[in-house]
Amino acid sequence: MAKITEIRAADPEACWRAAQTRTRRERLAPNGKLSLLAADHPARRVTKVGDNPIAMADRQDYLARIVRVISSERIDGLMATMDILEDLFILDGLIREAGGPSLLDGKVLIGSLNRGGLAGASWELDDPITGALPDACAAWRLDGAKFLLRLADDDRGSLKTMLAAAQAIRQCNALCMPMFLEPLPVARTGSGWSVLKDAAALARIAGVASALGDSSRYLWLKLPNSPGYETVARATSLPILLLGGESAGNPAPFLEELAAALDAGPNVRGALVGRNVLYPGSEDPLAMACAVGGIIHQGWSVGQALESLTENRGRELDFISRYF
């Protein structure tokens, strides 16, 4: 962390240079499936994990967990805000200078566009683009952009966000850049906005999301699991990635959800998951990442995925320290 800050202060262009020399994969999803990490939580003031209200505010711990996950060969890449991506570009440059392998070569990197809808704010559903624009994602040689779209019928902020999403999709299409859209039906509760995780609500919002912008040809949807997920899968021909939500603190429930969702329809093509992989209770994030990737890419059963945890737990814990 000290080296990253030192480079940020002394050589702010180092992350840009690392981004320009990164080797990108030729195809986004060579086998049509993706296992991606979501790492954009702190930018929306979401830092709680379990009983710790600021767990994800510890940037060193957060980055360490991200590095642990993306070092898995079964994880295709990650979605994050630019500050996280820049930290990783700097770290990748340091590792390569020390003679180590690149963390980011061949990985799918996706920029998170809108984080203005801060959790708990009165304007939370008015969620404009406050991060990188699609053209900046292209300039940084990223592989896609992501947009969160929460819709509540009784909050006019949702309309503003939907218009911003449509414009971002148009911009991505002009750049031939994949857009990962996360459309969520939400309702107000005593503790804030809550996602409506029922198949009918998700199927209806999938239809709305699929029609946004001037074309859906580069569009992927990120949708939560629900009972009767077959109904959700039938609502669109677009590829769907499962999201995880709050960490269950135990690997088994999410792995079971993932396996069931992948069986719901041929367009369910993987997962874009954050806390359930980064903070899997007492489990190693690398082991959890390998288990998720095994289900998505190798077609493992939940039993096989759980068995793999023992094999990968604690593997290559010195990956960073061996070069410094």
User: Is 304 buried (19+), middle (13-18) or exposed (0-12) by CB count in 10 A?
Assistant: middle
Asked, for residue 30, whether it belongs to a domain, the answer is no
Poorest-pLDDT segment among 61-65, 113-117, 143-147, 249-253: 249-253
Instruction: Tally the domains of the chain.
Output: 1
Asked, for residue 13, whether it belongs to a domain, the answer is no
Per-residue pLDDT for 113 more than 80?
A: yes
Per-residue pLDDT for 247 more than 80?
A: no
Per-residue pLDDT for 21 more than 80?
A: yes
pLDDT confidence of residue 249 = 75
pLDDT digits (tens, 9 = 90+) for 61-87: 999 999 999 999 999 999 999 999 999
Binned at pLDDT 50, 70 and 90, residue 246 comes out as confident
pLDDT confidence of residue 319 = 87
Tokens in use for 267?
């367009």
pLDDT confidence of residue 310 = 94
Per-residue pLDDT for 258 more than 90?
A: yes
pLDDT confidence of residue 11 = 98
pLDDT digits (tens, 9 = 90+) for 207-232: 999 999 999 999 999 999 999 999 99
Nearest CA to 163 out of 121, 96, 210, 212 is that of 212
Main-chain phi, psi angles of 87, to 5 degrees:
-55, -40
- Parent domain of 265: 35-323
Residue 49's domain is classified under what CATH number? 3.20.20.70
pLDDT confidence of residue 303 = 96
Asked, for residue 15, whether it belongs to a domain, the answer is no
Asked, for residue 14, whether it belongs to a domain, the answer is no
Binned at pLDDT 50, 70 and 90, residue 321 comes out as confident
Asked, for residue 271, whether it belongs to a domain, the answer is yes
Average of per-residue pLDDT across 50-69: 96
Per-residue pLDDT for 121 more than 90?
A: yes
Asked, for residue 275, whether it belongs to a domain, the answer is yes
Poorest-pLDDT segment among 126-135, 166-175, 189-198, 269-278: 189-198
Rounded CA gap, 107 and 15, in Å? Answer: 16
Q: What is the mean pLDDT of the chain?
A: 95
pLDDT confidence of residue 127 = 96
Per-residue pLDDT for 32 more than 80?
A: yes
The percent of residues in the chain predicted with pLDDT above 90, rounded, is 93
pLDDT digits (tens, 9 = 90+) for 136-146: 999 999 999 99
Per-residue pLDDT for 191 more than 90?
A: no
Average of per-residue pLDDT across 290-312: 96
